[in-house]
Structure 1
């Protein structure tokens, strides 16, 4: 098995679990590492070490999960690497392509090439990457939603996504949570994705994309935030700090119509940058319809709590913070 993006959030877990299951695994990533071959896909030739092997399974997990990349940069990062796999794919190689549950964009399909049919360039580029992987290799597509660390100990190779929301909440950079409190927010762990991928690798390809999530048992936005603060406050109390109150909620309409216009002139440049970053989350906290799960995962609240508990343990300087006043002088 070859795993691209082997040092990333999902790739690390797939490599570890695949080896534990008896696969002979080689990982590669742009920078490489002690346990991964260095390969900047599309920028450098395929390493001879990878060309020398005959791959039964290639798990393509390499991606840049940035929602605000310029369009061409998003294509270069998420679409072009699919074609770069061509020299490694033999007639019997099963390619498993890791996508995102949100690659179907605003219209519920990956077939549109129009950027305006997607919330951002990440969704748009991942939709094209799916089309390319299926066209070239007949790949099995796996679509995870928001991802947190593994269930057993919360370990994850990089803190992004919900961790960014948590950090903003404890530092006061996010005074309220913006979204629909009952909107279904699908969250899975890295080990959920790895288990799915290994099952597919062992049993054969799928004609339809595999969409991970809790389905009918998915948490609403309030449930996700409550789970995050429950885990955080358990850690804070155990460490001798006062628990934090969960910030309130406002709808996107309230935020953009009332809150932000009045506050914006008084915010620091740092706060404005953080608002721009966090605004990318708002569509995913306001989804009206479920994502159409066909691969059920276990209790999402448990995964969220394990992830935040581990984050707090590894980032105690942030976890023990107390929110600062939201508005202040530029030097604050």
Structure 2
């Protein structure tokens, strides 16, 4: 379609959904949003668990499915309920002329470089596996246009983001001392895009209609301009230290980067007996980042976005403004007595 019409955005309170809603309304779309818990301007709907509320029945020119639970290691049944069942729940809302745009992930191709496998063994984690299943269902049932973003950070202009997840968890853990080093290959590529990059792509596809992507997934990224792991860590900590300096705080050391082999053979085995329960939980959570910080395999970008380095600096400042006590603090040692209960 060439002119804005009606648009339903699922997962509208998430990182992509919230940014998309703002851009779509500014472009003239009549936007309705829903999320599991609802909230300001969002209808509450637990997709796959309950029928759609009457106000979501449409008809819709475009439905953007941005609903997902980006937890990497959920049990398979929970991952299916979180990421696959919502796709099927859209069926009563999809009319003959509805264009469905499905927001997937660039890592949906798993270990074999394709999203077609149904075996969990072909994926790094249950998130990739369930997102691949969701993508297949969206295409098979609705002829959906698929958008595959990699890691997503906040808006380029001001760093605004609805939730500080993903790479922000890594930053937080380094700042607080929960993680003493970044585990990965310093020269590996880390494809990162901003929420506004993803939203702009979705809006372009919505305007173009069913044939906008020629049936192929749209993979976002900077390609050869993507950051290496070393660059990403340095950019983040240079930005953070500039923010700290403006407030009279001493600079933090840029975290050391260690390879997964060094981590598994030398760091973790010797430290594990001395770590607190909180530190062990952080280690488990952040271990899911290791594959994405260690690979040199390109994700097959089909839509280039501008380099993300300037946006990363902006996003770090926005995170620090939101969490000033953490951003001005000093990392605690990575070993110590067990937490008192």
Same fold (TM over 0.5): yes
Per-residue CA deviation, residues 241-262 of structure 1 (Å, 9 max, x unaligned), is: 0111101111001110111111
Output the CA distance in 1 between the equivalents of 2:81 and 2:191. 28
- Pair 1:190 & 2:178 matched: no
- Pair 1:166 & 2:155 matched: no
Aligned match of 2:306 = 298
Q: CA RMSD in A?
A: 0.9
Counterpart of 2:8 (choices 2, 14, 24) is 2
Please state whether the residue corresponding to 1:141 is helix, strand or coil.
strand
Aligned match of 2:25 = 19
Output the CA distance in 2 between the equivalents of 1:271 and 1:40. 33
Output the CA distance in 2 between the equivalents of 1:34 and 1:331. 38
Counterpart of 2:318 (choices 310, 315, 323) is 310
> Structure 2: 5+ residue runs without aligned partners?
1-6
Runs of 4+ in 1 over 2 A off after TM superposition: none
Deviation at residue 297 of structure 1 after TM alignment: 0.7
Aligned match of 1:117 = 122
Aligned match of 2:183 = 178
Output the CA distance in 1 between the equivalents of 2:132 and 2:139. 11
Output the CA distance in 2 between the equivalents of 1:266 and 1:30. 39
Per-residue CA deviation, residues 259-302 of structure 1 (Å, 9 max, x unaligned), is: 11111111111111110111010011001211010111112111
Please state whether the residue corresponding to 1:281 is helix, strand or coil.
helix
Alignment of 1:146-295 (within 5 A): 146-205=151-210, 206=213, 207-295=215-303
Aligned match of 1:46 = 52
Deviation at residue 331 of structure 1 after TM alignment: 3.0
Please state whether the residue corresponding to 1:243 is helix, strand or coil.
coil
- Pair 1:135 & 2:143 matched: no
CA contact (8 A) 1:187 1:304 kept: no
CA contact (8 A) 1:42 1:84 kept: yes
CA contact (8 A) 1:171 1:321 kept: yes
Q: How many pairs are equivalent?
A: 331
Alignment of 1:81-96 (within 5 A): 81-96=86-101
Residue range with higher mean Cα deviation, 119-128 or 169-178: 169-178
Output the CA distance in 1 between the equivalents of 2:17 and 2:90. 16
Please state whether the residue corresponding to 2:34 is helix, strand or coil.
strand
Output the CA distance in 1 between the equivalents of 2:201 and 2:47. 25
- Pair 1:328 & 2:336 matched: yes
Per-residue CA deviation, residues 209-265 of structure 1 (Å, 9 max, x unaligned), is: 000010010110011111111111111001110111101111001110111111111
- Pair 1:319 & 2:327 matched: yes
Counterpart of 1:79 (choices 72, 76, 84) is 84
Output the CA distance in 2 between the equivalents of 1:278 and 1:29. 26
- Pair 1:103 & 2:108 matched: yes
Deviation at residue 56 of structure 1 after TM alignment: 0.5
Per-residue CA deviation, residues 169-189 of structure 1 (Å, 9 max, x unaligned), is: 111111111100011100111
Per-residue CA deviation, residues 93-138 of structure 1 (Å, 9 max, x unaligned), is: 1000000000000000000011011000000000000000000000
